[in-house]
Structure 1
């Protein structure tokens, strides 16, 4: 697997994780969870086993462990500062993967002009590029010299 055990555990708590052959499909029907509850002993074991692997998520978790009450058995980590994209970026940089694709969709239960859309993100060794569906439409309209829609 291209990701560390700790990265997988955290991503599987941020998302719903479904194994697909040798790959993993991550999805979130109600949004990605930024707060992850972890077992202290389990995390310490994973960090020790993965000591030689560079990982931003390990750095975030180590920092959270340092601030923890020594008697705590579990702790919560706020992943919003790193984000899941940062975890995937680390995975691509140190693996044989050329890239990871992320597709996002959002909708609203009522018809609102700003309640629908999506985005795509491509993470490769050379960087990350993301574009919302609204940005794509703006760029396409400009590229085709179409001007604003009729009012």
Structure 2
């Protein structure tokens, strides 16, 4: 964690030290607004081990916009979000593969719609969130269908998943086939693979294939119904 990230996160959250670790929490919710001294921010940027990134660039922009008489910056993190700060840390940390943020929604009066919570998982490449309502849907599926409890969302089943590790494996096979050519000499990074997956998916039109799968599922359901209980 850099000095700048620490300053921002301790402004967003309450915190407690636990050895070399820090536990961040919020009694009434994280703060979107953080006030930090300009001199401290400039010193933090000088200590910054990373030359750029969304956090650093935001602070640099605010510093250039600050007036000559200002000594403190009001930093609005509502658009960026605290998860983005944690993501920068995860990307840089070799022993940390994710950060989990849990939250609870409460109100001062007992209400049927005033309680619940959510969880956000921050990895190097994704920020994913889920609410207790969505988790409830999954449990209802399991309660209704047992071992046949289906995918999240009450009856939605994923059919295909493009896995980047499969793309990497295929890439190695291709490079072996084209050994000695320019195609084999190109260095393909994880970022290139991710961009390639996104581009390949965007070009697909699976409507016809999906219609055939739906028809096949309908016929299978009919066959199972005819056969009766196992």
- TM-score of the aligned structures, taking structure 1 as reference length: 0.88
Cα distance, 1:53–1:73 mapped onto 2, change above 3 Å? same
Unaligned runs of 5+ in 1: 147-151
> Are residue 80 (structure 1) and residue 81 (structure 2) matched?
no
Residue 115 of structure 2 corresponds to: 116
The equivalences for 1:23-42 within 5 A come to: 23-42=21-40
**8 Å CA contact 2:102, 2:117 repeated in 1:** yes
SS, match of residue 34 in structure 2 = strand
Cα distance, 1:45–1:86 mapped onto 2, change above 3 Å? same
Measured in 1, the distance between the counterparts of 2:103 and 2:25 equals 9
State the Cα distance separating 1:142 from its structure 2 match.
2.7
**8 Å CA contact 2:2, 2:49 repeated in 1:** no
> Are residue 6 (structure 1) and residue 4 (structure 2) matched?
yes
CA distances 1:42-76 after superposition (whole Å, capped 9, x unpaired): 10111122153444222111111121102211110
- Tell me how large the CA RMSD over aligned residues is: 1.5
How many positions carry a matched residue from both structures? 144
Residue 134 of structure 1 corresponds to: 133
**8 Å CA contact 2:3, 2:47 repeated in 1:** no
Measured in 1, the distance between the counterparts of 2:19 and 2:72 equals 31
CA distances 1:87-107 after superposition (whole Å, capped 9, x unpaired): 001110111211111111121
- Normalized per residue, the structure richer in strand is 1
SS, match of residue 69 in structure 1 = coil
> Are residue 58 (structure 1) and residue 56 (structure 2) matched?
yes
Greater CA deviation, 52-61 or 82-91? Answer: 52-61
Measured in 1, the distance between the counterparts of 2:12 and 2:124 equals 23
SS, match of residue 144 in structure 2 = coil
SS, match of residue 130 in structure 2 = strand
State the Cα distance separating 1:4 from its structure 2 match.
0.8
State the Cα distance separating 1:114 from its structure 2 match.
1.4
The structure having more radius of gyration, on CA atoms, is 2
**8 Å CA contact 2:118, 2:132 repeated in 1:** yes
Greater CA deviation, 59-68 or 33-42? Answer: 59-68
**8 Å CA contact 2:119, 2:130 repeated in 1:** yes
Residue 93 of structure 1 corresponds to: 91
